A and B are shown apart, each in its own frame.
Chain A
Amino acid sequence: MSKGKQLWPGDEMAAFFRAHIDRETALDAEAAGRLAAALTKSINRMLVREMPPAPSLVEQPSVAEAPRAPAPAPKRERSSGSGEAFNPYRFSAMVTLAKHGREGLMKSLQEIKSAENLRALAEAQHVPVAPTLKRTDDIRKAIIAGVERRLADRKAAAS
């Protein structure tokens, strides 16, 4: 139970209450902030047995007094997959084929050693590979052919 996930973080809850208090009442900013913070605290306590929030979220009574800080945009970078679980999106087979041709794609696929991971990449990137193929080299060739079909299909759809 202690590892439940807080689905409604305290600062969002406080901002929600604050917006309604501002809309429905004529309270000044300080009073509205206090009320929003008090409501947030109370509700967090009610939810605590099911979904305990991180302490930093519940122990910030002043959070409703200021707009929530803009969150930084996530970086558009993909993990390489090295040293961690295999990432089937480590590169786009379609983009690699379009930019570097069949040889370029084969080179990238050769860096993936197991049939299981090659299949995972194909599955994730919507490239059909016959389940009867066992050898890794055959799977790589099937992926290249499948990506070529996908590219041709995209062009046909746009025609």
Chain B
Amino acid sequence: MAVFLAVANRKGGVGKSTVSVMLAHGLAVYGGKRVLLLDLDSQCNASLILMGGHGWNEARKAGKTIADYFYDLFDGIPANAPDYVARNVGDVSMANGKPAPISLVPGSLLLEDIQGELYLKQASQSNVPEIVANRVRGRMESLIRRFEGDYDVVILDCAPGLSFAALAALKTADKVIVPFRPDYVSQLAVDRVAMLIEDMRSLDDLAAMPAEDRRYVCIANYVRNDDRDYMMIEEISLVHPVLETFLPQRNGIANAFDYIGQLRSIDVKYSDGAGDVKELYQEIARLVETVAANKKNEVSVS
């Protein structure tokens, strides 16, 4: 039974796709997990990082993207979810030289258009916007869950904003990872997305909720080694759970997101950022294990 991790923030440019890919690499290479990444962002950055432009284009031509998946299966057209999955993607190898076990449902530039079409389709069955929206989101949620049995971890790389796909991902996720930049605008964005995830009306109510009960955790990204950034992280930690691990601004990390189409070790790919990936993996692996154990218990109780 897979653990679903959504990587989300309504704000753009905080590193959702890069964190998603780092998580995929870390969990697959260090943890030996079978990882699936669903690229729910029409910018398709995670797909380009993992497949390169050519591979992604081939997936588009073959009609094997996340937009095709949602569109084809929305009305129950008989098709298999695994047919939309590209396997062993990325240019990172395991210690034995084999490709890291990372699968991907590639992103699509058409994802936003498709969501509009699905909304219009549903609108013919009800004239209450909220009901229509909930149906679209709910159907997407169930389509995302179809991958549950085949992977250890499913990473949902969300687009900025609140599309139906992003809302479905937030609902589906066992844990939401919220990357942020240590700046004032990001602070407000984290407050907002956290309240949405926990369905809270005020920041005071959210702050009163024990951190261990929260379904989300934040991670500071692009951190400069200076006091101003550390102060911002502390201010965000005032209300939100924040991972001990943070991702500094490093050339090794920035350069790792260029697909070269040739397998290499995770240490070579991330260069001086390899330690950051490992540290991130170690902290997230503990979260994943806790969630997986809780899910197992829930199943055995029910």
Contact = CB atoms under 8 A, between A and B. Distances in A.
A71 B203 contact: no
Contacts of A55: none
B267 A67 contact: yes
A12 B251 contact: yes
Interface stretch (A37-45, A72-80, A101-109, A128-136): A72-80
Interface in B225-261: 225-228, 230-231, 233-235, 238, 245-246, 248, 250-252, 255, 260-261
B28 to A, nearest CB: 18
Nearest to A89: B227
B175 to A, nearest CB: 21
A69 B191 CA distance: 36
A85 B250 CA distance: 27
Interface residues of A, number: 34
Contacts of B273: 70-71
Interface stretch (A91-99, A112-120, A138-146): A91-99
Contacts of B261: 23
Nearest to B244: A76
A135 B132 CA distance: 61
A158 B188 contact: yes
B234 A23 contact: no
A125 B230 contact: no
A87 B226 CA distance: 11
Contacts of B274: 67, 70
B68 interface: no
Contact of B203 (A70, A79, A94, A158): A158
Per CB-CB distance, the 4 closest pairs between chain A and chain B, nearest first, are A70-B275, A89-B227, A158-B191, A74-B225
Interface of A: 12, 15-16, 19, 22-23, 67-74, 76-79, 87, 89-90, 92, 94-95, 98-99, 124-126, 154-155, 157-159
18 contacts: A19-B260, A22-B260, A23-B260, A23-B262, A67-B274, A68-B271, A70-B252, A70-B272, A70-B273, A71-B273, A71-B275, A72-B275, A73-B275, A87-B227, A95-B234, A99-B238, A158-B202, A158-B203
Interface of B: 184, 187-188, 191-192, 195, 201-204, 223, 225-228, 230-231, 233-235, 238, 245-246, 248, 250-252, 255, 260-262, 264-265, 267-268, 270-276, 278-279
